[in-house]
Structure 1
């Protein structure tokens, strides 16, 4: 039986206990007595008609109902924090807010190009960007902490998260390097890569998988002098001349300007793919809609693809 008078203070105490991992720690964080927390939890369980915590030795753990309730509580209190943040702004009601997760493997110049459409909209847009690991960003997206995630890979079809991938396009990959490196290795490329110093993404990166396959197919054994999970750190080391690095050919002008690096040679059949991931199949945020519907011809040289999951 539903309870229209659910007490959100009780729910908040439950949420803090779950986050802190125990009643004592929750009481310390909230500045109240342990007995107060216990009483609030009992009242909440009575209101919903379910046991939310179960004893496990000297600890308490969430029941199945408790885990379900925690998911909803996460969304409720995250939205509450966002509400407070939005209402505290001086220009409340004048800006449309877009909260974006950017996968750490996605080239930041590509992320900027994909978000440029938001800057051209007639409304005033306030963008908040968060860089992080792919799986962590998906979890935040599923909890509606983010409006969209920009990444270089689609969501695994077997994921339990209710999130959806939208293909935006792809780019030809080339190796870039400082002028001295380009002069030394451009001739006879790609055979010149044998023993040449290169900087690569780490092995959990989708582009790295394609690069390793390409090296193997062409019988190449470059000297890997650095591996980086963050694409921005990789290009920063590339600017120093430590080694050549892979990047989208479409960004050649930006890479020359920002990193003083030039193309050494294109990698035939190696491309990088880009996706927007949303929490709902039918997009409702107008800025996310604009990102998905934009042609992105300046980035990819072709129209974006259709939804892939």
Structure 2
């Protein structure tokens, strides 16, 4: 990059791209159109590539402009968070850990993964739940320190991410005492007549469960499918159906949901990953989480 690169020029380009044209950008910036246009041309000159091109009566982004806009989004969104983060660190010294939890990850497992840092006296834990792609975008923008998921991060040429394996847990079947008593004598064939609850297909483990049913020659009587594992556990605890869960969560399930274990789901495991932006983890709490699970 040329030493004449100027972040103010980048900001003007960013506003033009966001507003959809020079005139709207000039109005937002309270500047003359000619001034904004000149600043964008200076940016293009310093980068050595055209970022905008005529299209009808307006302008559209070139391929280089699309890339510049994506990076500018990251730069200026990080900048928007800077004052708040500085205030937080100055007013109340703490060890802040911002975690993204993929909606496909069992919530009881997420709590177990974070157990190594829960007792940290200065911990300030911030948890966000959502779809994996959205969380990885926030991770790339440094809004999150780590993302927990039931699958590794997909390859992305625009974002360099590293998936750290955190282990795996066998699956088992659980239900209310009444359902378990009625199903125990003829498992797994009972799952063809006993109501069954399953995670939806967006979870990584669902395909493994479907394959398990095929291997057992059982066509399950599915009465509910849930994106959220906490909802799955709650409806299972209400007696709606037999449901699968990671054995890592068994102690909490039995203690807090009033369910019983029916049988193992032989050969089916659920995998867990911590996704970060660095191959060598720098955040001390993230490293403690990884060390605690290893």
**Fold in common (TM above 0.5):** yes
State the secondary structure of the residue aligned to 2:88.
coil
* TM-score of the aligned structures, taking structure 1 as reference length: 0.84
**Where does residue 307 of structure 1 map in the other structure?**
none
Is the contact between residue 27 and residue 37 of structure 1 (CA under 8 Å) also seen in structure 2?
yes
Moved more, 131-140 or 81-90: 81-90
Root mean square deviation, CA, Å: 2.5
What residue in structure 1 maps to residue 252 of structure 2? 254
Deviations 1:239-287 (A, max 9, x none): 3322222111232221133333222221111111111111121211111
Q: Secondary structure at the match of 2:280?
A: coil
| Preserved contact between residue 151 and residue 271 of structure 2 (Cα < 8 Å) | yes
Alignment partner for residue 145 of structure 1, among 139, 143, 146? 143
Structure with more helix by fraction: 2
Match of 1:283 among 281, 284, 293: 281
Aligned counterpart for 1:181 among listed residues 152, 159, 179: 179
CA 1:81 to 1:95, structure 2 compared with 1: closer, same or farther past 3 Å?
farther
Alignment of 1:120-131 (within 5 A): 120-121=119-120, 124-131=122-129
Query: Partners of 2:246 and 2:39 in 1: how far apart?
Result: 56
Equivalent position to 1:162, from 140, 154, 160: 160
CA distance in 2, matches of 1:118, 1:51: 48
* CA–CA distance in structure 2, aligned partners of residues 288 and 121 of structure 1: 12
What per-residue deviation string (whole Å, max 9, x for no partner) do you get for residues 210-250 of structure 1?
Answer: 00000000001111112222222322322332222211123
3-state SS of the aligned residue for 1:88? helix
Q: Aligned partners of 2:13 and 2:176: how far apart in 1?
A: 56
The answer to whether the 8 A contact 2:198-2:243 is kept is yes
Give the Cα separation in 2 of the matches to 1:237 and 1:213: 24
Question: Per the alignment, do residues 280 and 267 of structure 1 end up closer, same or farther by CA in structure 2, a change over 3 Å counting?
Answer: same
Give 3-state SS (helix, strand or coil) of 2:172's partner: strand
Q: Contact 1:3 / 1:48 at 8 angstroms: preserved in 2?
A: no
1:65-214 mapped onto 2 (5 Å cutoff)? 65-89=64-88, 92=91, 94-121=93-120, 124-156=122-154, 158-160=155-157, 161-214=159-212
- Sort the Cα spacing of 1:93 and 1:193 in 2 relative to 1 into closer, same or farther, 3 A: same
Structure 2, unpaired ranges of 5+: none
**1:150 shift after superposition:** 0.4
Q: Distance in 1 between matches of 2:266 and 2:75?
A: 49
Q: How far 1:18 sits from its partner (Å)?
A: 3.2
| Map of 2:224 onto structure 1 | 226
